[in-house]
Chains A and B, each alone.
Chain A
C-alpha cells in the first residue's frame, strides 16, 4: 500500500504544490501541461457528477479508481483542491486530505506572510512537513507495493 503523488490546486487552477513518492511512469507531457490536464479533468468530473447524480448530492466527487491506482479528491469551500493518488488497497482518506489542508496548508502557507497566495508554494517548511506527514501515514510503505 502506498502513496504515489499529491497535487494541490487553488480556486483558479494554479498548481500550488506537487510532490511524488512512487511514480513509475510519467505522463509524457511537460509538468505544466500535466497540471492543466489534471485540473481540467477534475473540473469536468465535478460538474458531470453533480448533473448526472440520480440522487441529491451530498459530498460530490470523492474518488475514482482504475485497475492500478486510485485518485482521491478533497475540495474546500474556498476552492482549494487536494488530489492524492494511491494504490488500490487504500480506503476513503477524506480526513487525511482535510488534515493536509488545515494543519499544513493553512498553518504553514496561509499564515506565512512571505508566501503569496495564488502562487506555487516556496516554503521549505511546508514541503518538508508535508513529506514527513505523508511518510508517516499508515498506508504509506517505503517499498512501492
Chain B
C-alpha cells in the first residue's frame, strides 16, 4: 500500500502553489491575518475553482476505476454509499462517519476526523484557512458522481477542525 503521506504532502503543495499566485500582498500561505479585499477574493475564488477542477478530474478517473460491480448501483443512495465507503477508504484509508439525506436530492456527508485537516488543529484555530484544503476533495466527490452518471453540486463546510461536512445537491431533472 502506498504511503498516505505522499498524497498529503502533494496536496499541501498544490494548495500552497495555487495560493502563491494570489494577488493578495500577504506572504503566501503562512498563517497570518488576511484582509478580504475585493481584489484578492477573486484571485482566491480562481484558486479554489482550479483546485476543485483538479479534484474533479481525479474523481472522474477514480469513479471509472474503483467500482467492482456496476449492477450494485440500483439507486442514487447506493452511489452515495459507495462514495462514503469505497472511495473514502481508497483515498483516505477510512470510511465517512455519517451520511444523511432528505431523500430529495440533498445529502450531507460528515467526516469527524478528516485526514487532511487532522494535523492542523483540533478546534477553532486555522478555521478561515480550512476551506482551501477542502476544495480538491469537493471536486473529487463531484467527479466520481459524474462518471457514475450523476450531475451534482458539492460544497464543504467546517465548524470546528477536524470535523467537516460535504454537502451534495443533486438537482431533480
Nearest 6 Cβ contacts at the A-B interface: A113-B12, A111-B119, A116-B30, A114-B31, A124-B125, A112-B119
The interface residues of chain B lying within 8 Å CB-to-CB of A119 are 30
Interface digits, B104-123 against A, CB 8 Å rule (1 contact, 0 not)? 00000000000000011111
CA gap between A115 and B9 in the complex, in Å: 13
B146 CB, min distance to chain A CBs, angstroms: 27
Check if B133 is an interface residue, CB within 8 A of chain A: yes
In terms of DSSP, what is the predominant structure of the interface of chain B? loop
B32 CB, min distance to chain A CBs, angstroms: 10
Known: A111-B8, A113-B12, A114-B129. A125 touches B122 (CB 8 A): yes
B116 CB, min distance to chain A CBs, angstroms: 9
Interface digits, A101-137 against B, CB 8 Å rule (1 contact, 0 not)? 0000001100111111001001111001000000000
The interface residues of chain B lying within 8 Å CB-to-CB of A108 are 119
Check if B16 is an interface residue, CB within 8 A of chain A: yes
Check if B72 is an interface residue, CB within 8 A of chain A: no
Check if B2 is an interface residue, CB within 8 A of chain A: no
Check if B80 is an interface residue, CB within 8 A of chain A: no
A interface residues with partner B (beta carbon < 8 Å): 107-108, 111-116, 119, 122-125, 128
Q: Are A125 and B121 in contact (CB under 8 A)?
A: yes
Q: Are A123 and B121 in contact (CB under 8 A)?
A: yes
Known: A111-B5, A111-B8, A113-B133. A124 touches B29 (CB 8 A): no
Q: In which size bucket is the chain B interface?
A: 10 to 19
Partner of B30, one of A114, A123, A124, A125: A114
Q: Are B119 and A107 in contact (CB under 8 A)?
A: yes
Check if B126 is an interface residue, CB within 8 A of chain A: yes
A87 CB, min distance to chain B CBs, angstroms: 31
6 CB contacts below 8 A, A to B, read A111-B119, A113-B16, A114-B30, A115-B31, A122-B31, A125-B125
Q: Are B125 and A113 in contact (CB under 8 A)?
A: no
CA gap between A114 and B125 in the complex, in Å: 10
Residue of B nearest to A110 (CB): B119
A140 CB, min distance to chain B CBs, angstroms: 22
- Beta-carbon contacts under 8 Å, B16-30 to A: 16, 29-30
CA gap between A114 and B122 in the complex, in Å: 14
- Apart from A116-B31, A123-B120, what are 7 other A-B pairs with CB-CB below 8 Å? A112-B119, A112-B120, A113-B16, A113-B29, A122-B31, A124-B125, A125-B122
CA gap between A115 and B32 in the complex, in Å: 11
Residue of A nearest to B15 (CB): A113
